């Protein structure tokens, strides 16, 4: 079942990630899991500070809530060869490669779609979760069933963190980028290539 409403968590977002074995970088994340047939599963998680009371709050009594944060997760299938676009982030797929274009100019919608970018909203999320740094970065993760032979991003920006590792026969490639990434008219490009069978 795909959740269609925000999973509202009042002061419990941090606990959700700890119990689920996740870390705070997964509160705002894009994950593309590719299959050998070229299709994939895309999961997108965003963090927000809702301004309106939620259904959960109306079902509680004897408490006055003073902070609010919400996690929204959507999941869907990506057809073989399709090139999904997530809040302006373009995934350009080839038979054994993937280029991810991340806008940094006026068309950078991804930051506000995946994390609270307003300073007041960020403070609200931090008050609700008691977790510093939550929503300050977006994790883009690609899981490939083949050995990743080429990876890298340009331009080289010191605040970005890339990891590539093997986990149970799957190559997990991740790029952690700050929501307040330096603005530019030039996209950030992340290239991955693998050796298919």
CA distance from start to end of the chain: 33
On the question of pLDDT at 92 being above 70, the answer is yes
On the question of pLDDT at 10 being above 60, the answer is no
Q: Of the segments 6-20, 47-61, 90-104, 169-183, which one has the largest average pLDDT value?
A: 90-104
57: left (phi over 0), alpha (psi -120 to 50) or beta: alpha
∠ Cα 20 98 155 (to 5°): 95
Among the residues of the chain, which ranges form H helices? 13-19, 55-58, 110-114, 119-129
Residue that is written with structure tokens 């959740």 in the block: 3
Q: Which of 88, 132, 141 is nearest to 112 (CA)?
A: 88
pLDDT band at 25 (very low <50, low <70, confident <90, very high): low
- The one-character DSSP state at 165 is E
Residue with the larger pLDDT of the pair 135 and 39: 39
Q: What is the pLDDT of residue 23?
A: 55
Contact predicate 30/90, CB 8 Å = no
Burial zone of 140 (CB within 10 Å; 0-12 exposed, 13-18 middle, 19+ buried): buried
On the question of pLDDT at 173 being above 70, the answer is yes
On the question of pLDDT at 174 being above 60, the answer is yes
- Round to whole Å and give the CA distance between 164 and 2: 29
Q: What is the pLDDT of residue 7?
A: 37
Q: What is the pLDDT of residue 24?
A: 56
Q: Which of 110, 119, 127, 177 is nearest to 13 (CA)?
A: 127
Q: How far is CA 14 from the centre of its chain?
A: 16
pTM of the model: 0.81
Burial zone of 12 (CB within 10 Å; 0-12 exposed, 13-18 middle, 19+ buried): middle
Q: Are strands 147-154 and 7-9 parallel, antiparallel or unpaired?
A: unpaired
Average pLDDT, the chain: 83
Q: What is the pLDDT of residues 121-152, one digit of tens each?
A: 777 777 777 766 667 889 999 999 999 999 99
Residue with the larger pLDDT of the pair 7 and 26: 26
Q: How far is CA 126 from the centre of its chain?
A: 18
3-state secondary structure of 133: coil
Lowest mean pLDDT among 56-65, 79-88, 124-133, 159-168: 124-133
Q: What is the pLDDT of residue 2?
A: 39
Query: DSSP E strands: which ranges in 121-169?
Result: 137-144, 147-154, 161-167
């Amino acid at each position: 079942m795909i959740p269609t409403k925000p999973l509202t968590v009042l002061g419990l977002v941090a606990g959700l990630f700890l119990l689920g074995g996740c870390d705070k970088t997964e509160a705002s994340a894009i994950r593309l899991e590719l299959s050998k047939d070229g299709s994939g599963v895309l999961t997108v998680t965003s963090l927000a500070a809702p301004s309106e009371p939620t259904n959960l709050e109306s079902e509680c009594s004897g408490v006055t809530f003073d902070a609010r944060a919400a996690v929204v997760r959507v999941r869907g299938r990506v057809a073989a060869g399709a090139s999904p676009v997530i809040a302006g982030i373009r995934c350009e797929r080839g038979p054994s490669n993937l280029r991810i274009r991340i806008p940094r100019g006026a068309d950078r919608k991804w930051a506000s779609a995946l994390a609270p970018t307003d300073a007041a909203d960020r403070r609200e999320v931090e008050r609700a979760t008691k977790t510093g740094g939550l929503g300050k970065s977006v994790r883009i993760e690609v899981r490939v069933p083949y050995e990743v032979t080429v990876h890298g991003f340009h331009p080289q920006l010191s605040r970005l963190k890339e990891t590539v590792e093997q986990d149970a026969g799957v190559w997990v490639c991740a790029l952690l980028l700050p929501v307040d990434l330096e603005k530019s008219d030039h996209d950030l490009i992340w290239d991955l290539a693998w050796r298919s069978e």
